[in-house]
Structure 1
């Protein structure tokens, strides 16, 4: 039985100014839980209203996205993802676990970083049938069932590194005190070089990137929740030597400074 997972992290503007916006997530079956993080569905209705821009800070995951004329498998997106929403529409996606796409791809996932792939290259003729089934579905549960059938049919042998790297990434997301590659390598009982090779092969980005991205997710979540954030403390936690460099990188990724973002979302940092 699938379960709705509630509010996602990484969405920079969780409240649209007007119109209707829905975001649902569902868990995979036990048979696919080792490779799929969750299934997601986004729908919006802005008919007769101005278009609105949605922005997210992507996670270290590969996504299989179904949308008319835009269906593709997307590797880890390292920057801010920006999408203009207009009219009425919907998108369905499979979010693979960190490392979870490797059994289907069987090549270094880093080759897909900031790139997309035609699903037919992985799933053959079944990809077209899956897309048609999703686009014709009347509810999310039907979409999820179609995704489960496709993935189960094409799932190859899953080596132990898939579970290992998924657990490491989940640990980074859960432990806000984990802020360095050295600490992660020690925890994994690997050299830094071996850890970097593992992430390159299975995740598609470096362990340092994953650590920094999840700490930024944490900062954004705190601001959205109304928690007062010390930029200096956060900068030091992320391994920056000073607040200025942290603010520069935050602005480059999010598109505005931490204080500007907090004000825009109706919150104030220290």
Structure 2
């Protein structure tokens, strides 16, 4: 399995976290992969074979070849059909809102076709990227497309952007009241701004950021001690940590630890 991360053009760095590719044979890819929420939205282009999505509360379906995956608030289980070849544009938490007129909240936990997002221009983008010769060409095509869209859109909300930076800096450990005080806004207004720009509430994003910090600690330090993880990430207690963990992964920390954890973070680009 090969993954590679690419930096965006500096003019798009306020919106795009990174580009990344994943290539793997069917034999080298686990049969099912649990993708956990990470607070970002992604444009995904499968130039290899497709993936099944297995919702826990619905019927399995084959995902489109190219689509946007909205904000995840629960585990998202996928299964490869064959050889993986995937190009991903990973946006920052509020990075995609300037590129669409569709309410961000309506995209939650679902794949959205490029046709629905961008009309005929989306279909052309899909064709051009799938027929590009390499990743550098795909990035150039994507950035040309996004630059053109950005010219006619408003820039990101500065208050939301600053609050995201605070959430990230403190690894999701601040309360919503503390975030509201720092932003000099009421909880209701801050929540409304987050919903329209990110598709998540400040509390949801904080929980996701804190869990991601816990997962990276598991992977980087190979530490499965729940007590250490609980206090390191400032959860109230182990039951609080396990509750949040199960909400976003579908299983307990001990069940998730191991190869499935590594696969999940690979799919989230480990960045």
Tell me if the contact between 1:231 and 1:243 (Cα under 8 Å) persists in the aligned partners: yes
Q: 1-side partners of 2:126 and 2:199: how far apart?
A: 25
Q: 1-side partners of 2:258 and 2:92: how far apart?
A: 33
| Structure 1: gaps of 5 or more residues | 1-20
State the match for 1:260 in structure 2.
255
State the match for 1:115 in structure 2.
110
Say whether 1:28 aligns with 2:23.
no
Tell me if the contact between 2:94 and 2:156 (Cα under 8 Å) persists in the aligned partners: no
Say whether 1:159 aligns with 2:155.
yes
Alignment length (residue pairs): 245
Say whether 1:231 aligns with 2:210.
no
* Residue 119 of structure 1, CA deviation: 1.6
State the match for 2:44 in structure 1.
65
Q: Map 1:53-92 to 2 at 5 A.
A: 53-67=32-46, 69-92=64-87
Q: 2-side partners of 1:57 and 1:146: how far apart?
A: 28
Tell me if the contact between 1:35 and 1:99 (Cα under 8 Å) persists in the aligned partners: yes
Distance change (3 Å), C-alpha of 1:197 and 1:170: same
Tell me if the contact between 1:173 and 1:214 (Cα under 8 Å) persists in the aligned partners: yes
State the match for 1:125 in structure 2.
120
What SS does the aligned partner of 2:95 have? coil
* Residue 90 of structure 1, CA deviation: 0.9
Point out which structure has higher relative CO (alpha carbons under 8 A, 6+ apart): 2
Tell me if the contact between 1:63 and 1:94 (Cα under 8 Å) persists in the aligned partners: yes
What SS does the aligned partner of 2:25 have? strand
Q: For 1:165-208, what per-residue CA distance to the aligned partner results, in whole angstroms no more than 9, with x for missing partners?
A: 23422332232373311121122222111111110010001111
Q: 2-side partners of 1:63 and 1:177: how far apart?
A: 21
Tell me if the contact between 1:130 and 1:150 (Cα under 8 Å) persists in the aligned partners: yes
Deviation larger for 211-220 or 114-123: 114-123
* Residue 215 of structure 1, CA deviation: 0.9
State the match for 1:203 in structure 2.
198
Tell me if the contact between 2:98 and 2:156 (Cα under 8 Å) persists in the aligned partners: no
* Residue 147 of structure 1, CA deviation: 0.3
* Residue 65 of structure 1, CA deviation: 1.4
* Residue 25 of structure 1, CA deviation: 2.0
Tell me if the contact between 1:98 and 1:165 (Cα under 8 Å) persists in the aligned partners: no
Please report the RMSD computed on the Cα atoms of aligned residues, expressed in angstroms: 2.8
Distance change (3 Å), C-alpha of 1:252 and 1:205: closer
* Residue 251 of structure 1, CA deviation: 3.0
* Residue 116 of structure 1, CA deviation: 2.9
Q: 1-side partners of 2:244 and 2:159: how far apart?
A: 30
Q: For 1:81-107, what per-residue CA distance to the aligned partner results, in whole angstroms no more than 9, with x for missing partners?
A: 222235312111222222222222235
Distance change (3 Å), C-alpha of 1:31 and 1:194: same
Distance change (3 Å), C-alpha of 1:177 and 1:102: closer
